Amino acid sequence: MTIKDTLLYLGKAVLFGLIMAAMFLLVTHYFDNKSLGNSLLQNRGNNTVELSFAKAVRRAAPAVVNIYSLSIDQSRPLNSGSLQGLGSGVIMSKEGYILTNYHVIKKADEIVVALQDGRKFTSEVVGFDPETDLSVLKIEGDNLPTVPVNLDSPPQVGDVVLAIGNPYNLGQTITQGIISATGRNGLSSGYLDFLQTDAAINAGNSGGALIDTNGSLIGINTAAFQVGGEGGGHGINFAIPIKLAHSIMGKLIKNGRVIRGALGISGEPINPVVAQILNLPDLRGVLVTGIDPNGPAARAQLLPRDVIIKYDGEDVPGVEMLMDRIAETTPGKKVMMTVIRQGKQQELPVIIDEKVVVSN
């Protein structure tokens, strides 16, 4: 055997050893990881291990409540009344704050919250936000279960998720699926950034929890895609991401409503044809297509066909970013906008109004 053959043989052996070591470390990490080893693999006895989401469900399910409307028969007002199932909700804190959908409670006169341990509470509405279809309720009780919340790790397409709720008033039900898509906005308003999942979300699931395999809350179930008047069962269901829902909840607890800024414009993204017609250097910015005659934009003398390229010193890549920044601006604040008008760049100051939200 030549020296070259010897070195080649030793190199293959070393490479094989490194590959095996890497595989061993990977497998060890795989089964030591809490989200899989502790949550998904359950020892069923007889030396058998099965895939299970039971631990995740045990962590989250007690905090998912059923929401009812208490109806009083006016002809027999002394009777206790009957409960009508409306949907679901999630206990977010020991203080008794509950997140649910606005459409779940908007027509209810008196709201009753039923916990999984059998307790029932009459709740008060802290605040609601029709724009994001969210509402916060509050109950008074001791030792209330709360759901674990994950704000730091955004869900990704392909993640396994579980939907917990009270479909058709049958009692708490768990369905399983994956995240099919993220960033599905436009279904309700520009402020929403839906998660799409194929976990079944039927009537009564609205306001319930979408959790990951650790049992942490990642979304509030809110809508099922409608096909020919039929909802659910088509694998196209939606949830509000918990980061957005948590932010809205904080605002509702603080102010009873969500205060948003308004500029009073409608706009479109820049496409190559528009860029060429308006002599624009690139495709960034928002083309102003409509102006509220009584809004801040009109008072600032913004014109249709103006292109907004900067808002409050920040570059504007597109419509969604601009609308979000406007909504986040405190009403009454003076903001500088950079616009391109007839090929020339100029600065326009504008004082932002408060957006008026009409509930229906």
Among residues 69, 88, 103, 180, the one annotated as catalytic is 103
Task: State yes or no: is 129 an active-site residue.
Answer: no
Tell me if residue 103 is catalytic: yes
* Whole-number Å distance between alpha carbons of 197 and 205: 13
From 133, 212, 306, 353, active-site residue: 133
Catalytic residue among 135, 206, 212, 306: 206
Alpha-carbon separation of residue 22 from 14, 30, 90, 112 (angstroms): 12, 12, 42, 55
Which helix (H) or strand (E) segment holds residue 322: the answer is helix 319-328
Measured over the CA atoms of residue 153, residue 155, residue 161 and residue 164, the dihedral's sign is positive
Residue 18 amino acid letter: L
Burial class (CB in 10 A: 0-12, 13-18, 19+), 81: middle
Helix ranges (DSSP H) in 180-306 = 242-255, 272-277, 296-299
Q: Is 29 a catalytic residue?
A: no
The C-alpha atoms of residue 290 and residue 135 are separated, in whole angstroms, by 31
What contacts 289, CB < 8 A, 6 or more positions away?
A: 266, 267, 268, 304
> What distances in angstroms separate CA 126 from CA 100, 122, 206, 298, 323, one per listed residue?
11, 13, 18, 35, 26
Catalytic residues: 103, 133, 206
